[in-house]
Structure 1
Amino acid sequence: MTKSLNQVIVSYQDLCAKGLISDLKQAASCDVKTLCRLSCNNCPHVGVDINLKKVSFVGLQTDLVMIKHSKNDDLDIYMSGEHIIAWLDKHELAYQRF
Structure 2
Amino acid sequence: MVKITGEVSSQDIPDGMITYNFNTQLHKVTIQNNTELTYPVSGTYTYVLNRQSVLSMCQSTINVNNEGTYCFSQTGNSMSFDLSAVDGLKLDFER
| TM-score normalized with structure 1 length | 0.30
Higher helix share: 1
| TM-score normalized with structure 2 length | 0.31
Bigger relative contact order (CA 8 A; separation at least 6): 1
Higher strand share: 2
